[in-house]
Amino acid sequence: MSAVSDIRLATPASLQSPSADGTAYVSVAIVWLDLSAAPGRIEAEPGLPARWRETAAAVARDQPALDRGARLAVSGEIPWRVVSVQRRHPARGFVTAQLERIA
């Protein structure tokens, strides 16, 4: 396990303007967590370029915005996407989040 600090939590916000619709991520909090990343793997689908996928489990301070679809940015790295959050962590005020990122 590696202790990681200053993780910025960003949640999706809809963008609607006369020229474009889309989604942007807005930083809403800083969470501190302990991150356990599994070894990454290359995935290839027919007709698509190969991509690198990593998964991780994280214990983090509970934040209402920490939910599926949020992103965790770690100092300039590719952000982690929150896949699921288990709020029944044994320690009060903490959650366990399943994360993934694709390069």
What's the token pair of residue 43?
A: 């995935």
Average pLDDT score over residue span 6-18 = 59
pTM of the model: 0.68
User: For 14-60, what is each residue's pLDDT tens digit?
Assistant: 544 455 556 677 776 666 667 788 888 998 889 888 989 999 888 88
Structure tokens at 79: 């952000």
Q: CB-hemisphere CA count at 13 Å for 96?
A: 8
Contact status, residue 58 vs residue 86, Cβ threshold 8 Å = no
pLDDT at residue 103 is higher than 50? yes
- C-alpha–C-alpha distance, residues 67 and 74, integer Å: 17
